[in-house]
Amino acid sequence: MKVRYDPKADILYILIREGPVADTDEVDEDVWFEYDEEGNVVGIEIWNAGENVIRKSLLEIERYTKALDRKMEA
């Protein structure tokens, strides 16, 4: 598996396995799955990744670390 991020286009691409893409399907807003001929997912493309993935992940990490800090202070 490989992960690439294009900051100019704000697209996160997750390559599950190498091979030709036979079909693409938008499974959620700004989330596209790519399939091979057998219907297996070969890649996932996330548009507006800064907002949809990266920002949300950072906010979750911040909440988690604050909770840990409160535990350690108690």
3-state secondary structure of 56: helix
Confidence tier at 71 by pLDDT (50, 70, 90): confident
Per residue in 23-61, pLDDT tens?
A: 999 998 899 999 999 999 999 999 998 877 777 776 777
Is the overall model pTM greater than 0.85, yes or no?
no
Cα–Cα distances (Å) from 23 to 46, 63, 70, in that order, read 16, 38, 48
What is the reported pLDDT for 47?
Answer: 93
Task: Evaluate if residue 72 carries a pLDDT over 70.
Answer: yes
Two tokens, residue 28: 């959620």
> 49 near 10, Cβ under 8 Å?
yes
- Domain spans in the chain, listed from the N-terminal domain onward: 2-73
What is the reported pLDDT for 36?
Answer: 96
Angle value at C-alpha 7, between 27 and 2, nearest 5 degrees: 60
